[in-house]
Amino acid sequence: MAKPGDNRQEEEINPNYQVDSATRRKAFRAMLGYAKPQRLVFLGVFFCAILAISADLLQPYLVKVVIDDNMLGDQGAGRVIGLGLIYLLLAVISMIFTYLQANLLQRAGQSIVAALRKDLFSHIAKQSMSFFDRHAIGSLVTNESSDTETINQFFTQVLLSIVRDGLSLIMIIGFMFLLDVQLALYCLVLLPLIAIIAVAFRKMLRNSYQRARTQLSRTIAFLAENLSGMSLIQSFHQEKEQVSRFSQRNRKYLKESLREVRATVIFNRSFDILGNLSVAFVVYLGGMAVFNSALEFGVLYAFISYIRQFFQPINQITQQWNTLQSTLVSVERLWRIFSVEPEVRNPKPEQAKELGLERVRGQVDFNHIRFAYSDDRDVLRDLELHIKPGEFVGIVGTTGAGKSSLVNLLARFYDVRKGSIQIDGIDIRQLKLESLHRIVGLVQQEPYLYSGSIIDNVRLFDESIDRDTVIEACRMVGAEQMIKRLKKGYDTLLTERGSGLSAGERQLISFARILVYQPRILILDEATANLDSHTERLIQQALNVVSVGRTTLVIAHRLSTVQQADRIIVMRSGGIIEQGSHKELLQQNGYYADLYHHATRGTAAGQ
Amino acid sequence: MTSYYPLAGILETRFDINITGAMPLKLPDNWINILKERDFCHANTKRGVRRLLDGRRLLLTHFKKYGWIYGGAFILLASANVIFAFFPSVLQRFADAYEAKELTRQAIVDYSLLLLGIGIAYGVLFGFGQYLNHRMGRIFEYNTRQRLFRHFTRLSEQYYSKNGTGKLLSYVMNDVTSVRESIANGVNQLTNASVLLVSVVVMMSLSELPLQLVFVCVLPLLTIPFLVVYFGPRIRDRSRQVQESLAEMTESAEEQFGGIRVTKTFAVEDIAEQRFGGTVEHIKDNQLKLVKMTSAFQALIPFAGALSLVVAITYGGYMTIQGQLSIGHFVALTFYLRMIMNPLQQIGNVINTMQRARASLERLNNLLGIKPDIQDHEQAAELPPGAGDVRIHNLSFAYPDSWQPSLSGIDLQVAQGHTLGIIGKTGSGKTTLVKLLLRVYDPPEGSVFIGGEDITRLSLESLRTQIAYVPQDGFLFSTTIRDNIAFFKRDIADDNVEHAAKLAEVYDNVIGFDKRFETQLGERGLTLSGGQRQRTSLARGLIKDAPILILDDSVSAVDAMTETSILGNLRSARKDKTTIIIAHRISAVKHADEIVVMDEGRIIERGTHQELIRQRGHYAALFAIQEEGVSHG
């Protein structure tokens, strides 16, 4: 789903979407930076290309020699065989270098793209959570897969075409001049004509291409959504209505795609006709020259061949147009991602402080913090909270009170706007992100599992953590029974998002992670919501195990989850309004007591 | 019940696993590969599959309908190529005239004009033919997508549960496109190549070129189709590997970005990067393997062409010098050879495209051949409007492909205007029951009655019109809030929409947005919170004001206070109508006229809230856990 700041839609909807050329140039230059380490390879490709096209380009010239010197001239038949052998040799060279060139180029292109993909990945992984709020994962994945792939196509197709076809073009023109300057000059009249046609069609082609693509992506988006919502469509009996809505989009796409086909056909055939026209033109001009004995017949033959060959590379180059277009778009998209600096950054070396994991006591201080996701509305206002080492703190309040924001700040998914958060008296902004994250562990409402074995899911693929540690952790959180029921036990492969396990079972695995990684401060963000009561009890037991000896913050939807906490923090619209133990809070007869009674009132009435 | 898509069944029998039952899922390690074999589909299996159409049906209908247009296109393309084949012979006559010193100014002009005419005629005729073919291809694409979408709306949840959206999209995108390309390009290139080839061969034999010379020259070219057929499948295999490794990387990126919080929380970014980097390197290796094939292919084809020109220059040149061949013929020979290199290559390409498209076509035909498993009975009756009493009689049900029953011996009666509450653990059969009521799956005949009628004998339309269903997930479409709420009848009055929104306690949220009910949701619009989504979805169900309303854990993401007011609204709005509420939380059902507790597909307790509390059974225990505070406080 698109979020603010994601401009992909705009690009696809508006065919005239333009980014100012300065940005475009900058972006393009940045991408070319990736090509720099490969420049020797590119030089190699260039030389290969020259040799690869040699046979094709020299053939008319050789035939010309045969015609003029051997057939019309007095050179013997023996030389014909010699020329044939030369051509054979050229053909072999051409074959070898065509092969080499393609392999070299692909190697260079792939190295560039691999580097780009890895850099992009680590750049994205470095971003703070606010980045992920603004960018949908789907669109990041597109950046990572399609956009980089387009850049690969640029290097392997567009660049190849420019080098190979450009060289062909230059060499053809060179041969023409070598053969006859006057006729060559006449032929060059074609160049402006070609330029005019190309420019005239350029816009038309690009527009029709963009418009067809926009319609296609709309159709597909509609389809994808309807497939996911099919059960709803059926249970509301809206099949006909949705079919007709699909029809509208499909029809629009048909219209635009036909327009695109027309544009392409007209463009290609115009070039064809122009090519044949110029052959006729050369035959006329050259024929007259031959007639006046100003030109050898073989030269005319070569000219006819060359002028026919002349259009092939031009055609090839123009076919790269669409690829070049999408490359530019992709480069811009990638540039937009690359130019985002992570909002949460490691401390500067001179300010960094060390806090060894084993020495952490687990005292947490929120000092007058203020925080907002966007500029308009504060989520936390001047909040003050001090937690003792090893304390078990429950946080309650309605949705939007700022509970999750509070713990997100402690994990530095975001940075505070004002005030500071300290662990054992050290501002967390002075800690390296890595060591902070080793200290603070978080269990979320939706446990996230990777595709991989249970062992790997618990140790998060860190092979330096041995099997026994993992098994011990699973045993302690009470997951062992569940895992043993699986056919392959700890080696059972889980699928993405852990389908095949119930919500509670997945949550148990994420609890086991805590015991493996041993953070000193533990946060549970609604980790027991959405579970049925039976599983919740299992989880509660696991919680009792993992919270031992740790500073623990538990955010809960249901008050019953945190009743046993040392202290309960009651939050409302970005601030703490009450705190104390369950009993104390009930005695205060304030907001907490209200919430509590509300949750239980119905029951009392029922009884 | 027969399954039309026995994948799960096959996995089960082959690997001794159970997919749809209540047992935990145990999949073999290589299951993803099994699924990835795309051709591994229902067509080749014995059990429960009906292939209604054979592999060519889709194309036959198309060609039958548009046959005359294709005929026209063929005539255009054929005449274009026949005309084009005269090109070298004009040059030959020109050269011969020159050699015989018979060239005049007028002749030069004539020859040039002739060439010009050939060029223009070829371009125009070919252009029109080509356009017609491509147009037909696009129309095929349009019609097929249309059919697919209509077909999708008929397939049941059973099908969707086994085929992910990605797979279905790939039918619509990749398979349709690949068939379209192969019929548009295939017809074009095949017509082109065959007509040009025939014309050139005819022209060559008519032009007094010595046959043995033509034969020797053409010999190397004849290897081209073989090269194409040899390399084609190999290139395709390797390019499939590239595609698969790309997909692997995409999946990895999706997984890693999706789990970014976990990665950050445990500071394992390095490991994530390593794992992702592995998939990137894998693509690189596969690409380099692919390019070895493609580049060998790309180098060999021109080489074959060059060889035949070598023969033409040496042998033909020798004959010309010996006086056995005119210069004109020598010139024409070289042009003819250059002309037929392309069609020969195209014939090979066509063979490859057709091969690729055949698999796609088969997949499409199989998909369209799947018979929807929920259909109207032959003598389907209409449900009398307003009927709201539900009777379930000794209902047992097992999902297709599962030997374990999900429901057994269910007996229930909900009188018109009453409210039924259903409580139970995940997997206890609550949702299955609802799915049977809506005929998402067909219940056994004679077990579920609404208004006294067996629902399997009712038309789907009348049944589903009279039931309003609110699912748990709160799925909304990317359209306006208004259209989402008024989903059952898009032209309903605004007052109704607002009223429904008020009942679902989402009205205040909606009017807080700038565009109120016209606010666009989803892809290009606003993202609602989980609770807001659920309440909007609730409004969508309530606006129907249907005789039967089913809430499937529909307020789970709503906070306790709002839940209370929603339940209050419901009670007054649905006084005389039947309501079925499924919930995890007792608070949502305790006012129901009857509450049933389900476990492992059976009803284990039933009664009113107070009766159940007094029974001191499961319900009472659950109540104690959920409302722990009361006993402690």
pLDDT of B42 higher than 90: no
Contact flag A67-B327 (C-beta cutoff 8 Å): yes
Percent of chain A scoring above 90 in pLDDT? 3
Chain segment B493-508, per-residue pLDDT in tens: 888 888 888 888 888 7
The kind and range of the H/E element at A137 are helix A137-142
Both tokens of B538, joined, read 């609730």
Chain segment A547-596, per-residue pLDDT in tens: 888 888 888 766 777 888 889 888 887 888 888 888 888 888 888 887 77
Contact predicate A330/A151, CB 8 Å: yes
| DSSP code at position A532 | -
Least confident range from A69-73, A525-529, B14-18: namely B14-18
The pLDDT of residue B38 is 32
Residue A501: closest CA among chain B residues belongs to which residue? Answer: B24
The kind and range of the H/E element at A442 are strand A440-443
The pLDDT of residue B24 is 25
The kind and range of the H/E element at B468 are strand B467-470
- Please give the C-alpha separations between residue B544 and each of A237, A361, A401, in angstroms, as whole numbers: 12, 59, 34
The tokens 């979320």 sit on which residue?
Answer: A444
Contact flag A83-B331 (C-beta cutoff 8 Å): no
Measured between CA atoms, how close is B144 to chain A, in angstroms? 10
Contact predicate A152/A113, CB 8 Å: yes
Could you please state the CATH topology (level 3) that the domain comprising A20-338 is classified under.
ABC transporter transmembrane region fold (1.20.1560)
Q: What is the 3-state secondary structure (H, E, C) of B538-561?
A: HHHHHCCCCCEEEEECCCCCCCHH
Contact flag B149-A599 (C-beta cutoff 8 Å): no
The pLDDT of residue B572 is 83
Neighbours of A368 (CB within 10 A): 12
Contact flag A239-B264 (C-beta cutoff 8 Å): no
pLDDT of B128 higher than 90: yes
The size of chain B, in residues, is 633
Q: CATH 1.20.1560.10 spans which residues of chain A?
A: 20-338
Grouping H, G, I as helix, E, B as strand and the rest as coil, residue A412 is coil
pLDDT of A161 higher than 90: no
Q: What is the DSSP string of A540-552?
A: HHHHHHHTTTSEE
What average pLDDT does this structure show over A46-54?
86
The b/e string for A5-19 (b: 16+ C-beta within 10 A; e otherwise) is ebebbebbeeeeeeb
The pLDDT of residue B401 is 66
Q: What is the 3-state secondary structure (H, E, C) of A21-85?
A: HHHHHHHHHHHHHCCHHHHHHHHHHHHHHHHHCHHHHHHHHHHHHHHHHHHCCCCCCHHHHHHHH
Contact flag B112-A276 (C-beta cutoff 8 Å): no
Write the CB contacts of B528 (distance below 8 Å, at least 6 apart in sequence): B476, B509, B521, B536
Q: What is the mean pLDDT of chain B?
A: 77
pLDDT of B1 higher than 60: no
The pLDDT of residue A528 is 67
Both tokens of B477, joined, read 């479409």
- At residue B629 the predicted structure's pLDDT band, cuts being 50, 70 and 90, is very low
d(CA A239, CA B615): 46
List of chain A residues whose C-beta atoms are within 8 Å of the C-beta of residue B590: 602-603, 606
pTM of the complete model beyond 0.80: no
The pLDDT of residue A54 is 81
Both tokens of A173, joined, read 């023109």
- At residue B121 the predicted structure's pLDDT band, cuts being 50, 70 and 90, is very high
Chain segment A330-384, per-residue pLDDT in tens: 888 888 888 888 887 788 877 777 777 778 888 888 888 888 876 667 788 888 8
The kind and range of the H/E element at B247 are helix B223-258
Grouping H, G, I as helix, E, B as strand and the rest as coil, residue B580 is strand
What average pLDDT does this structure show over A60-69?
79
List of chain B residues whose C-beta atoms are within 8 Å of the C-beta of residue A500: 24-27
Q: CATH 3.40.50.300 spans which residues of chain A?
A: 362-606
Sign (positive or negative) of CA dihedral B427, B428, B434, B439: positive
The b/e string for B582-604 (b: 16+ C-beta within 10 A; e otherwise) is bbbbbbbbbbbebbbbbebbbbe
pLDDT of A482 higher than 70: yes
Q: How far apart are the first and last CA of chain A?
A: 46
- At residue A602 the predicted structure's pLDDT band, cuts being 50, 70 and 90, is very low
Measured between CA atoms, how close is A20 to chain B, in angstroms? 24
What average pLDDT does this structure show over A520-539?
73
Grouping H, G, I as helix, E, B as strand and the rest as coil, residue B467 is strand
The pLDDT of residue A532 is 62
Chain segment A123-145, per-residue pLDDT in tens: 888 888 878 877 777 778 777 87
List of chain A residues whose C-beta atoms are within 8 Å of the C-beta of residue B614: none
List of chain A residues whose C-beta atoms are within 8 Å of the C-beta of residue B561: 398, 598
d(CA B38, CA B30): 14
Q: What is the 3-state secondary structure (H, E, C) of B359-384?
A: HHHHHHHHHHHCCCCCCCCCCCECCC
List of chain B residues whose C-beta atoms are within 8 Å of the C-beta of residue A219: 145
Contact flag B296-A99 (C-beta cutoff 8 Å): yes
Neighbours of A96 (CB within 10 A): 15
Chain segment B247-285, per-residue pLDDT in tens: 788 888 888 888 888 888 888 888 889 889 999 999 899
| DSSP code at position B520 | B
Give the gyration radius of chain A's Cα atoms: 35
- Please give the C-alpha separations between residue B95 and each of A313, A509, B327, B544, in angstroms, as whole numbers: 27, 85, 6, 85
- Taking Cα atoms as reference points, which of B498, B505, B625 lies closest to residue B557? B505
Chain segment B525-558, per-residue pLDDT in tens: 566 766 778 888 888 888 888 888 888 887 777 7
Highest mean pLDDT among A13-22, B269-278, B360-369: B269-278
SS3 content of chain A, % helix, strand, coil (to 5): 65, 10, 25
Measured between CA atoms, how close is B255 to chain A, in angstroms? 7
Q: Which CATH architecture has domain A362-606?
A: 3-Layer(aba) Sandwich (3.40)
The kind and range of the H/E element at A580 are strand A575-580
Tell which A residues from 336 to 365 touch B, by Cβ distance under 8 Å. none
Least confident range from A483-497, B123-137, B442-456: namely A483-497
The pLDDT of residue A303 is 84
Contact flag A284-B109 (C-beta cutoff 8 Å): yes
Least confident range from A218-222, A455-459, A461-465: namely A218-222
List, in sequence order, every residue forming a beta bridge with B598; answer none if it has no partner. Answer: B424, B603
Q: What is the DSSP string of A443-507?
A: E-SS----SEEHHHHHHTT-TTS-HHHHHHHHHHTT-HHHHHHSTTGGGPEEPGGGTTS-HHHHH
The size of chain A, in residues, is 607
Chain B interface includes A71 (CB < 8 A)? yes
The pLDDT of residue B212 is 84
Chain segment A311-328, per-residue pLDDT in tens: 878 877 877 776 787 788
Percent of chain A scoring above 70 in pLDDT? 89
The pLDDT of residue B285 is 92
pLDDT of A9 higher than 60: no
**At A460, phi and psi to the nearest 5?**
55, 45
pLDDT of B2 higher than 50: no
List of chain B residues whose C-beta atoms are within 8 Å of the C-beta of residue A488: 26, 29
Chain segment A237-295, per-residue pLDDT in tens: 888 888 988 999 899 999 998 998 898 888 888 888 888 888 888 888 888 888 888 78
Contact flag B303-A95 (C-beta cutoff 8 Å): yes
The pLDDT of residue A24 is 76
In chain A, what's the furthest Cα-to-Cα distance? 122
The tokens 């076919």 sit on which residue?
Answer: A319
Chain segment B219-247, per-residue pLDDT in tens: 888 888 888 788 878 887 887 788 788 87
Q: What is the mean pLDDT of chain A?
A: 80
Which own/partner contact pairs does B61-69 have at CB distance under 8 Å and 24+ positions apart? B62/B136, B62/B140, B62/B143, B62/B183, B66/B136, B66/B139, B69/B132, B69/B136
List of chain B residues whose C-beta atoms are within 8 Å of the C-beta of residue A80: 313-314, 317-318, 321
The pLDDT of residue B293 is 87
Grouping H, G, I as helix, E, B as strand and the rest as coil, residue A166 is helix
Sign (positive or negative) of CA dihedral B99, B102, B105, B108: negative
pLDDT of B424 higher than 60: yes
pLDDT of B347 higher than 90: no
More confidently predicted of B383 and B525: B383
d(CA B231, CA B243): 18
What average pLDDT does this structure show over A155-167?
85
Nearest to A563 among B124, B527, B629 (CB): B629
User: ∠ CA A264-A266-A270 to the nearest 5 degrees?
Assistant: 120
User: ∠ CA B438-B441-B443 to the nearest 5 degrees?
Assistant: 85
d(CA B39, CA A55): 43
